[in-house]
Amino acid sequence: MGFPSCRYRNPAEFPPLLVNVVILAAGPGKRMHSSTPKVLHRLAGRAMLAHVFDTAKQLSPKVVCVVYGHGGEHVRQAVGDNGAVWVMQEPQLGTGHAVMQAAPISTSAGRLSCSTATFR
């Protein structure tokens, strides 16, 4: 039977979401055994970071914040001048620390929700 409130609805019926996106791009990718920062490895002819950034932009976010560290300016150049807010994580103390670096920017709406994707 199901719940009446769970019926399919046209996405246009929903109010627009106010979304901020944080992309964590600071890690060196030690397990990749490469001097290239992991987000700059190429997939389908483009840096992985460029793919992630393009996907994030499809959400029409209020802010896209990229936390970067390892690879510095090379990481910033991978997606060019794109309107992102860039936050340097120095020193790099892990994922939780990276999220904390972005929190002042990404929580302007009052909440921070984290989701991860792992590529192996």
| 31 annotated active-site | yes
Catalytic pick among 7, 9, 31, 120: 31
Domain residues for 38?
Answer: 17-106
What pLDDT is recorded for position 44?
Answer: 92
Each residue's pLDDT tens digit, 2-59 = 455 556 666 666 666 677 888 888 877 778 777 888 888 888 998 888 888 888 888 8
> What does pTM read for this prediction?
0.73
111 Cβ neighbours under 8 A, 6+ residues apart: none
Q: What percent of the chain has pLDDT over 70?
A: 73
Residue 33 inside a domain? The answer is yes
Each residue's pLDDT tens digit, 45-93 = 988 888 888 888 888 888 888 898 888 888 888 777 778 888 888 888 8
Domains identified in the chain, total number:
1
Residue 4 inside a domain? The answer is no
CATH number for the domain harbouring residue 99:
3.90.550.10
Distance CA 109, CA 105 (A): 9
